[in-house]
Amino acid sequence: MTHTLEILKENIRKAIIGKDEIVELFLNAYLNKGHILLESVPGTGKTMLARSFAKSAGGTFKRIQFTPDVLPSDVTGIQFFNPKTQEFQLRMGPVMTNILLADEINRATPRTQSSLLEVMEERQATIDGESISLPSPFMVIATQNPVESQQGTFSLPEAQMDRFFFQVDMGYPSFEEERDIMRTYRARNPIEEIAAVLTGEDILRMQKEVQEVGVSEEMESYILSIVHATRNHPDIEIGASPRGTLAFMRAAQGRAYLAGRTFITPDDVKHVAPFVLSHRLSLSIEGSLKKTNVMVIKDILSSMEVPVESGGQR
Amino acid sequence: MEWHKQVDAPRNGLSILWILSLAALITGLAAQSFIGVLTGCLFTLFLVCSHLYFKYVAKSLKIEMERQNARMFPGDRDYLALGLSQGGWLPIIGGTLRLTIDPAISFSAGTQEKKGFRVTDIPFTLFGKQTIKINLPYEGIHRGPAKIQAIEVIISHPFGIGTLRLDWKKLIPFQALVYPEISPVLDLEKAKPVNRGDFPFRKSFYEDPARLQGARLYTPDDPFNKIHWTASARTGVLHTKVLERASQYSWTIMVDIRDPELELKLSGIAYLLRYATREAIPFQLFFNVRCMGSVPFLYLPRGTGKEHLQKAMELLAMVRKDSVILSFTHLWNHAVKQPELSPLFILSGDAAKGIEGEIAARKADTYRLENTSDGLFLTNAEIKKRKAM
């Protein structure tokens, strides 16, 4: 598995420099049938990374550029009357794909954003009462700029945030990474050189294998104690949901699987915690004045007793 | 070199030592005395080593510090994490790390006040190729931003002939912002909207489609969806709906920074802002502080939610009493140009009273934030006037 990950990283590295950890999170989410929300300031390569990953992972790829006038039917699809056949005909929207890039998702109105709720959770779209299953594997990669710096944006509702497996902040590249970016993009656009290194069958097989990674009772308790701490922390108004608990466990399984292990360790749990939990928490007014979600999660992790014995129990 | 370097050594003393060592060396050579030559050589070697030590000890010395932005209330605690790394082989024995910070925060140990800043000395010893991590606890003392103004390393010579002072040249990526204390404002319920949602208002660009005021004759530039079909059918002439002007309920808070009770008033405003956020009341903030840019004063546009509150609290923390001020007329002129005028103005400070008449002329309510013996109160200026009449 580590070999597959290395091939994927190497392929994406042609276009995206210095984001190996994020590529691993992408694959982790994909293997766990999850979706990713990329958040960062403009110009840090969110869309480019999503496109590179989609091209590398194979399958079909579609993109929606969200604007305030995009309608739900532009996302899911529409039944229209075809005058030639004198019948209503279904035209599916861009959701009928393996990887969907929802670019600048917070520019869409809440009504349009909500059209993705069913798609993301149930992997189906209901159009005029008819439910249509989406292809498998299916993943939404959404990007957004930080809300506070934007006019004319609509924050994603809590219910939608909870449906994202990971929220990832791209951040700025380091000095040397940015030098490499300058050199790589000086004369060519390397994204054109990226080819698929995985197939849909590979992904489906790995999706089954990742579920078999063992979670011992100690690790279950560790995950649960962190989740419950988010519900009792004085700076948190709304803690992680049971859906968040499941995502937390699966993310740890995904990390162990990508590292070639058949069991999860406390390090897996600690590593994925900020990416899985930060967007699922709502801080209290006082808490939000002093801390960020990630800071609160780090507080919780540092206050938790780490299980010292964990093995490959199933 | 990441340091400004300054050697504090007694110039005369050093010169005398050089002269003495050379004199001992020459005398020893002239007198063919082994002890004299040895003494002269040792003295000279010692002085050369001292010179080289001061020259090279700081060459690979570095401060390692990640970007840290702390937000806190007075009395809250946090810690500053920094590392001191000696990349070279020369050890530093009995060095001192000196931090000079703004007075809004105070480090827990060894802090002295000097010229309006707080100075903290941290003794350390660092061997060659070693890095030490220092976690310095600090506490928010009073409202204001706090930056580390200077980081100095003071290295004393092992044999006491002078000290080397190193002043860190690079940017120091640390800022702590201490919010004002939150003091309750009494009788706040009267500034709370009775109805949620839109608020009927005479001067607004917006209309509430659910509130029909009446009908008027159709004019060719009226939109189709505003035609009053019932009235048109009854009269046989096209009529247009006249809808009530509406504005979203919001607060406009204007602050005079030259108020003698500024700190107390800012504490009250912090309370108002927290209340507004809890009640989902949008608010905008005006300070009579002159600024560069298209809006010539300190201003936070209308908004609501936790992020908006955070920005507002940051402004409250950063505003300075000694800033250059601007007349409230400028603030009012900007407020009145907005498409939606707030139905409620909250004014703090005497200078703000000058625009009360203007606000009243626009049929908006005005409240003053006043300090009484019972605490901070919101008092309605118009009601007072009516009572006096």
pLDDT value for B388: 42
B14 vs A120, higher pLDDT = A120
User: What does DSSP assign to residue B225?
Assistant: G
Q: Which of residues 360-389 of B touch A (CB under 8 A)?
A: none
The reply to whether residue B277 touches residue A285, judged by beta carbons under 8 angstroms, is yes
Chain A: residue nearest B179 by CA? Answer: A289
Band of pLDDT at residue B389, cut at 50, 70 and 90: very low
Q: How far is B101 from chain A (nearest CA, A)?
A: 20
| Count of CA atoms in the C-beta half-sphere (13 A) of B88 | 14
pLDDT value for A211: 93
| Cβ B200 vs Cβ B246: under 8 Å | yes
For B167-204, the pLDDT digits (tens) are 998 889 999 999 999 999 988 877 776 655 555 555 55
How far is Cα A27 from Cα A24, in angstroms, rounded to an integer?
5
Chain A: residue nearest B273 by CA? Answer: A285
The reply to whether residue B306 touches residue A283, judged by beta carbons under 8 angstroms, is yes
User: Tokens at residue B199, please?
Assistant: 């608020």
The reply to whether residue B71 touches residue A283, judged by beta carbons under 8 angstroms, is no
Sign of torsion, CA A294 A297 A303 A309? negative
Q: Which of residues 259-288 of A touch B (CB under 8 A)?
A: 283, 285, 288
Name which of A254, A281, A280, A247 is nearest A268 in CA terms.
A254
The reply to whether residue B307 touches residue A147, judged by beta carbons under 8 angstroms, is yes
B-chain CB neighbours of A291 within 8 Å are: 71
C-alpha torsion angle, residues A50, A55, A61, A63 (rounded to 10): 40
pLDDT value for A64: 93
- Name the residue among A147, A148, A285 with its Cβ closest to that of B278: A285
The reply to whether residue A148 touches residue B307, judged by beta carbons under 8 angstroms, is yes
The average pLDDT across A15-34 equals 90
Which residue type is seen at B7?
A: V
Band of pLDDT at residue B387, cut at 50, 70 and 90: very low
Helix axis angle for A266-277 and A293-303, nearest 10°, is 160
Band of pLDDT at residue B333, cut at 50, 70 and 90: confident
Q: How far is A170 from chain B (nearest CA, A)?
A: 17
Q: Which of residues 301-320 of B touch A (CB under 8 A)?
A: 306-307, 309-311, 313
| Cβ A296 vs Cβ A303: under 8 Å | no
- The shares of helix, strand and coil residues in chain B, as percent rounded to the nearest 5, are 30, 40, 30
Chain A: residue nearest B307 by CA? Answer: A148
For A93-131, the pLDDT digits (tens) are 999 999 999 999 999 998 899 889 999 989 999 888 888
**Residue A149 in contact with partner chain B when CB distance is under 8 A:** no
Q: How far is B337 from chain A (nearest CA, A)?
A: 19
pLDDT value for B48: 82
With H, G, I as helix, E, B as strand and everything else as coil, classify residue A56: helix
The average pLDDT across A133-142 equals 91
> Which residues make Cβ contacts (< 8 Å) with residue B344, sequence separation at least 6?
B191, B249, B250, B251, B252, B364, B365, B366, B367
User: Tokens at residue B302, please?
Assistant: 């209308």
Q: How far is A265 from chain B (nearest CA, A)?
A: 28
**Residue A298 in contact with partner chain B when CB distance is under 8 A:** no
Lowest mean per-residue pLDDT among B221-225, B233-237, B315-319: B221-225
Total-model pTM: 0.79
For A165-201, the pLDDT digits (tens) are 999 998 889 899 999 989 888 888 888 888 888 888 8
pLDDT value for B386: 42
Residue count (chain B): 389
Which residue type is seen at B228?
A: H
A-chain CB neighbours of B71 within 8 Å are: 289-291
Element (H, E) at B113: strand B111-114
Element (H, E) at B132: strand B130-140
**Residue A148 in contact with partner chain B when CB distance is under 8 A:** yes
Q: How would you list the strands of the sheet with B198-200, edge to edge?
A: B198-200, B239-248, B207-217
Is the pLDDT at B134 greater than 80? The verdict is yes
How far is Cα A240 from Cα A167, in angstroms, rounded to an integer?
14
The average pLDDT across A285-299 equals 91
CA–CA–CA angle A81, A85, A89 (5° rounding): 40
Q: How far is A284 from chain B (nearest CA, A)?
A: 9
Q: How far is A285 from chain B (nearest CA, A)?
A: 6
Q: What mean pLDDT value characterizes chain A?
A: 89
pLDDT value for A43: 86
B387 vs B78, higher pLDDT = B78
Q: How far is B110 from chain A (nearest CA, A)?
A: 26
B198 phi and psi angles, rounded to 5 deg: -70, 155
Q: Cα Rg for chain B, rounded, in angstroms?
A: 34
pLDDT value for B292: 86
* Mutant choice from A282, A283, A290 vs B, greatest count of B C-beta within 10 A: A290
**Residue B170 in contact with partner chain A when CB distance is under 8 A:** no
Residue pairs between chains A and B whose CB atoms are closer than 8 Å? 24
> Which residues make Cβ contacts (< 8 Å) with residue A14, sequence separation at least 6?
A52, A190, A191, A193, A194
